[in-house]
Amino acid sequence: MSAQTIENVIAESQEAAPICRSSDLLPGWGEAAWLEGRQIALFRTEAGRFYAASHHCPSLGAKVMARGILGDATIEGQRVDTIACPLHKEVYRLDTGICLNADTEALAVYEVTERDGWIWMEQGA
Ligand code: FES
């Protein structure tokens, strides 16, 4: 996609903006990004699903979530993707941010979609 095309798409969209190429994210890994004054963590699962969350772990406030451990859990018969904080291993759902193994505030998560080889994230989240 050319830069001009991206600008046109941005102008058309009031709800989402491209934040990186999907190929910038390796399967099974996370990357930290700086977006509008915030640190966010971007993830691509081995199965090719994309997620965005705060890079800031709600447990003790460490900015480490992009270096977390991707995994999954089965909850009420449904498989959900998870991220475990690399410090104290609290596990958060990547779809809702809810912590699964501690009474901790939820991790902030953001809606992302893949389109035309780019990862788009909701604006103002
Ligand atoms: S800082 Fe994340 S679980 Fe402790």
Is 53 within a domain? yes
Residue 21 clears pLDDT 50, i.e. is over it: yes
Atom of ligand 1 nearest to the CA of 86: 2
**Confidence bin at 14 (pLDDT 50/70/90):** low
- Give me the percent of the chain exceeding a pLDDT of 70: 87
Pocket of ligand 1 (CB under 6 A): 57, 59-60, 62, 85, 87-88, 90
Confidence at residue 4, expressed as pLDDT on a 0 to 100 scale:
46
Q: How many CB atoms lie within 10 A of CB 78?
A: 8
The domain in which residue 55 lies consists of 17-122
Angstrom distances, CA of residue 110 to CA of 16, 56, 114: 11, 13, 13
Is 11 within a domain? no
- pTM for this model (two decimals): 0.86
Query: Distance between CA atoms of 70 and 83, rounded to whole angstroms?
Result: 5
Query: Distance between CA atoms of 122 and 58, rounded to whole angstroms?
Result: 21
Is 100 within a domain? yes
Is 12 within a domain? no
Confidence at residue 7, expressed as pLDDT on a 0 to 100 scale:
52
pLDDT average, residue stretch 3-8: 50
Atom of ligand 1 nearest to the CA of 57: 2
What spacing in Å lies between the alpha carbon of 85 and ligand 1's midpoint?
6
Residue 124 clears pLDDT 70, i.e. is over it: no
Task: Give pLDDT tens digits for 40-82.
Answer: 999 999 999 999 999 999 999 899 999 999 999 999 999 999 9
Confidence at residue 35, expressed as pLDDT on a 0 to 100 scale:
86
Q: Which amino acid is at 125?
A: A
Is 8 within a domain? no
Buried b (16+ CB within 10 A) or exposed e, 49-68: ebbbbbbbbbbeeeebbbbb
Residue 116 clears pLDDT 50, i.e. is over it: yes
Average model confidence (pLDDT) for the chain? 90
Is 49 within a domain? yes
**Confidence bin at 16 (pLDDT 50/70/90):** confident
Is 85 within a domain? yes
Residue nearest to atom 4 of ligand 1 (CA): 88
Query: Distance between CA atoms of 86 and 60, rounded to whole angstroms?
Result: 12
List the CATH number of the domain containing 100.
2.102.10.10
Provide the number of structural domains found in the chain. Answer: 1
Is 6 within a domain? no
Atom of ligand 1 nearest to the CA of 58: 2
Q: How many CB atoms lie within 10 A of CB 72?
A: 14
